[in-house]
A and B are shown apart, each in its own frame.
Chain A
């Protein structure tokens, strides 16, 4: 039966080629535009660390002076050196790490390569186990290395490719910022997108090549690179003064149960009160503990433009649908004569309705296929845009399915009203007027 409806649909669509082409085109363009933006949104709003995102928390406290204070304001995103160190050494969470971004010069051992600058992460040892960072070779440094400001370095997969041709480089020495550091580990292919733990630089497609103990980076005077938020007489510079009233480090904790999260929040409040009593803090305790997804949301990591474009694309799809409804209405109404004959011959209203819906489904299928082509083209265009996330814009299996589902649903939806209208006519009156 369905095959027969299908044949009828093809026959009827062929009879009015221009109109059919218009309907398919409208659906294809609408679907293509919405799938392009939806894919970008899907890629950008992904969870960078799905297994643990609910147990990892970014710590915010408010160490600023009373100047500029307004009740209800958010604490700074980052922490100062003194507070970061205090919280790190208190070690009240299941795991914790204090970190910041940097930029270091790397002098490759082979003389063919020129020295170059690589984005670096200066962090305490807790970083690797806390974020489940995979290691290809070797292992992370440990707390004792942090304590001793050990001259060690962990390389990213990509940088190890570049410097050592992908071979096991553990134990080799590397000239970083003019100092010889020993490679203790090489990461596997680890590229969290967005770079949730530090959003002050490029959030997407950020490539950190070098990981150095935070203590070592300060002893060797490696340059800080990232945002610095100062109050009082603070001033940011390449080499941060540990005593400066500036927030320039990120502090992350792992808290495995809601109870431990609540306990840690109380600890932060208590810490703030203590610091206020000591005269270091001047504001009332103001702490935040946001998990990974809350943190991404709070920082509006998905660019506002991308959200706006998604809404725009769906508005566009809606216009295309309304357009298709209008065209289908006109088309189906024109066929009332034929439909009345079939009704008079004994076809039920439901049969005709089903047949017309098959016809609009065929339009949807064709529109979906066209939409897929347009979406691929659209994503190709997105990949050539200057945005940092551009190269991430690829269609995956799930989005492919959604494209076709969306196309068929959209065209069926567009077909329901016209089909219902066309079927609800009384055959006698139509036949008489012929």
Chain B
């Protein structure tokens, strides 16, 4: 098809066409960047935690006042939870992946190192790894005699007495690979705080840190410290996914019954906890999707509106062309090609704008550069939207009978 007549016709509507191209370009730039942001949000929401998420329910307790035997009461609570039918593992832990608070430690490989090698999220709680369902890929779990009570460990920190502090740790593979690239982490040592030496006895396949995800989601480590009933913490109970609701109700009832001096602060499945953590990301993704759709609809309406306007304006010319032998298909294709070209110009400008916008976003937010692959996808979407929008007016144009040419306007 000869596109020269299209160009000469468009040249007569330079300003209108310029506006349309600008609109398409802006839409292209915003949609490409928005889709990229949506993908970033989805990626965050789908970060692997490394634990058996769908099998866990969590109960958070807090005691009204501290009483003696906090350690013994924790053990009694755990023993009672273990008796719930269908329960596989239980633990009282300090933190879980994807929470709004966490313990982050600066890790050193040598005591005299001026800067930390990395920052890692700390986990503790007896039986934590089994209850989480985290997979050990090398080394061993903690021995029972390695566990210390939290009170003792805090005392050890205060007095700087290593006898009251844990000496062994289990680290994630991600953390081990960063600290000792290409080496076996088992038996290696690292330092925390004022040079407290830790020996690696096990390596986990994966365990996400509780918070500060931007400092490396996969950097986590576990120490053999036992939680007590008064320090707060989370009772984690693992069962088959279908038993979760029943197990949770039973667990809450038991904990309430055994702990008259405590209040249940939260009770839910881990899936819900995780969803709450990422609810902001989900809401943002929803907003972005809505904006993209609204933009595409507005742009389609703009294209359609202008096209039907042009069709109405050119009724006579169309009639003349039909009278001179152009088929309906020719007219249809004329408008479709015209639209294809306009959208094409818009996309060409849009790609430039999309990269400009991406640079702007990178300067103000912690975002990577817009990957190239989003541009052809964005172009394809806009071409489709343009063709859909122009179809109605173009069909109306094709339906103009040749006899129009013989009538005066």
Q: Which residues of chain A have a CB within 8 Å of any CB of chain B?
A: 18-19, 22, 25-26, 29-30, 33, 66-70, 103, 105, 107, 114-117, 177-179, 221, 223, 227, 232-238, 241, 243-244, 303-305, 307-309, 312-313, 315-316, 318-320, 322-323, 325-327, 329-331, 333-334, 385-387, 417, 421
Chain B residue with minimal CB distance to A107?
B64
Give B contacts to A, CB under 8 Å. Answer: 15-16, 19-20, 22-23, 26-27, 30, 34, 37, 62-66, 101, 103, 106, 108, 113-116, 150, 153-154, 157-158, 160, 193-194, 196, 230-232, 263, 265, 276, 279-280, 283-284, 287-288, 291, 294-295, 298-299, 301-302, 305-306, 308-310, 313, 361, 364-365
A241 touches B101 (CB 8 A): no
Min distance, Cβ B99 to any Cβ of chain A, angstroms: 13
Give min CB distance, A61 to chain B, whole Å. Answer: 20
Known: A221-B66, A330-B16, A387-B280. A233 touches B301 (CB 8 A): no
B231 with A319: CB separation less than 8 A: no
A332 CB, nearest partner CB in chain B, Å: 10
Contact (Cβ within 8 A) A304 B365: yes
Residues on A with beta carbons closer than 8 Å to the beta carbon of B65: 105, 177-179
With a CB–CB cut-off of 8 A, which chain A residues contact B15?
Answer: 329, 417, 421
- A26:B301 contact, CB within 8 angstroms: yes
With A68-B115, A329-B16 in contact, is A318–B64 under 8 Å at CB?
no
List of A residues within 8 angstroms of B230 by Cβ: 238
Q: Which of B16, B115, B295 contacts A319 (CB 8 A)?
A: B295
B161 to chain A minimum Cβ distance, whole angstroms, is 10
On whether the beta carbons of A22 and B23 are closer than 8 Å, the reply is no
Question: Which of B26, B158, B263 is A322 in contact with, Cβ under 8 Å?
Answer: B26
Q: Which of B19, B194, B231, B302 contacts A233 (CB 8 A)?
A: B194
**A29-B298, A326-B19 known; A67-B305 Cβ under 8 A:** no
Of A69, A105, A303, A326, which is within 8 A of B64 by CB?
A105
Contact B302 A33 (CB under 8 A): no
Residue of A nearest to B282 (CB): A386
> Are B193 and A316 neighbours in the complex by a CB distance under 8 Å?
no
B280 adjacent to A305 (CB under 8 Å) = yes
Cβ–Cβ < 8 Å partners of A107 in chain B: 64
Nearest B residue to A25 via CB reads B301
Q: How far is the CA of A272 from the CA of B114 in the complex (A)?
A: 21
Question: What is the CB-to-nearest-CB distance from B15 to chain A, in angstroms, rounded to a whole number?
Answer: 6
Q: How far is the CA of A304 from the CA of B365 in the complex (A)?
A: 8
CA gap between A117 and B113 in the complex, in Å: 43
Q: Check B365 against A19 for contact (C-beta < 8 Å).
A: no
Bound Cα distance from A103 to B309, whole angstroms: 66
Among B15, B310, B365, residue most surrounded by chain A Cβ atoms (within 10 Å): B15
Contact A327 B305 (CB under 8 A): yes
> Which of A114, A232, A322 is within 8 Å of B194, CB to CB?
A232
Bound Cα distance A66, B194 (Å): 11
Contact present for A68 and B295 (CB under 8 Å): no
* Contact between chains at A115 and B64 (CB < 8 Å): yes
Q: List 11 A-B contacts (CB under 8 A).
A: A26-B302, A67-B116, A115-B64, A178-B64, A233-B196, A235-B154, A237-B150, A309-B284, A312-B291, A323-B298, A323-B301
Q: Among B294, B302, B361, which residue has its beta carbon within 8 angstroms of that of A326? A: B302
Q: How far is the CA of A313 from the CA of B290 in the complex (A)?
A: 11
Smallest CB–CB gap between A360 and chain B, Å?
14
A304 to B366, CA, bound (A): 10
Q: Are A386 and B280 in contact (CB under 8 A)?
A: yes
CB-based contact A325/B19 at 8 Å: yes
B299→A323 contact, CB < 8 A: yes
Determine which of B150, B154, B305 lies in contact with A18 in the assembled complex, contact meaning CB atoms within 8 Å: B305
| List of A residues within 8 angstroms of B37 by Cβ | 308
Closest chain B CB from A243 CB (angstroms): 7
Known contacts: A305-B280, A386-B276. The answer to whether A22 contacts B301 by CB under 8 A is: yes
A205: min CB distance to chain B, Å: 15
> Given the complex, which residues of A lie within 8 Å of B101, measured CB to CB?
227
If A116-B263, A387-B283 touch, does A322 touch B294 (CB 8 Å cutoff)? no
For the complex, give the distance between the alpha carbons of A115 and B22 in Å: 62
Chain B residues, CB < 8 A from A223: 62, 232
B263 touches A105 (CB 8 A): yes
In the complex the two chains form, what is the Cα distance from A334 to B315 in whole Å?
Answer: 13
Chain A residues within an 8 Å CB radius of B295? 316, 319
- Distance between A117 CB and nearest chain B CB, rounded to angstroms: 6
> Which residues of chain A come closer than 8 Å to B106, judged between CB atoms?
67-68
Q: With both chains docked as a complex, state the minimum distance between the C-beta of A90 and any C-beta of chain B, in angstroms.
A: 26
- Cβ of B23 and Cβ of A323 under 8 Å apart? yes
Knowing that A304-B365, A319-B23 touch, tell me 13 more A-B residue pairs with CB under 8 angstroms: A66-B114, A67-B108, A69-B114, A227-B101, A233-B194, A237-B150, A244-B157, A305-B284, A308-B37, A312-B30, A327-B309, A329-B19, A421-B15
Interfacial chain B residues near A307, Cβ < 8 Å: 364
Q: Which residue on chain A has the smallest CB distance to residue B63?
A: A105
Return the chain B residue nearest A320 by Cβ.
Answer: B298
Q: Hey, which chain A residues are within 8 Å of B196, CB to CB?
A: 233
Residue numbers in B under 8 Å from A117 (CB-CB): 62, 263, 265
Nearest neighbor of A417 in chain B, beta-carbon distance: B15
Contact indicator B22/A19 (Cβ below 8 Å): no
Contacting pair A236 B115 (CB below 8 A): no
Given A22-B302, A232-B193, verify A237-B154 contact (CB < 8 Å): yes
**Interfacial chain B residues near A233, Cβ < 8 Å:** 157-158, 160, 193-194, 196
Query: Quick check: A115 and B193 within 8 Å, CB to CB?
Result: no
The reply to whether A330 and B306 form a contact with Cβ atoms under 8 Å apart is: yes
Query: Which one of B23, B30, B232 has the highest number of Cβ atoms from chain A below 10 Å of its Cβ?
Result: B23
CA of A335 to CA of B255 in the docked complex: distance in angstroms? 79
* CB-defined contacts of A385 to chain B, threshold 8 Å: 283
Residues of chain A contacted by B308 (CB below 8 angstroms):
18
Query: CB distance A330 to B309 under 8 Å?
Result: yes
| Inter-chain contacts of B283 with A (CB < 8 A) | 385-387
Residues of chain B contacted by A221 (CB below 8 angstroms): 66
Which residues from chain A contact B116 at a C-beta distance below 8 Å?
Answer: 67-68
The smallest C-beta distance from B21 to any residue of chain A, in angstroms, reads 10
Q: Which of A237, A312, A322 has the most CB of B within 10 A?
A: A322
Q: Which residue of A lies closest to B158 (CB)?
A: A241
Q: Which residue of B16, B20, B30, B153 is within 8 Å of A316 (Cβ)?
A: B30
**Cβ-defined partner of A315 (8 Å) among B30, B108, B114:** B30
The 5 A-B residue pairs whose C-beta atoms are closest, nearest first, are: A178-B65, A326-B19, A105-B64, A323-B302, A386-B279
B358 CB to nearest chain A CB (Å)? 13
Assembly CA distance A178 to B64 (angstroms) = 7
Cα-based distance from A179 to B65 in the complex (angstroms):
9
Picked from A105, A116, A243, A322, the residue with its CB within 8 Å of the CB of B23 is A322
B291 near A326: Cβ-Cβ < 8 Å: no
Q: Give the chain B neighbours of A315 by CB distance below 8 A.
A: 26, 30
Q: Which residues of B contact A303 (CB under 8 A)?
A: 280
Q: Which residues of B contact A69 (CB under 8 A)?
A: 114
- For residue B345, give the distance in angstroms from its CB to the closest CB of chain A: 14
Other-chain contact of B298, A26, A67, A236, A304 (Cβ < 8 Å):
A26
The CB with the most chain B CB atoms within 10 A, among A103, A243, A244, A312, is that of A312
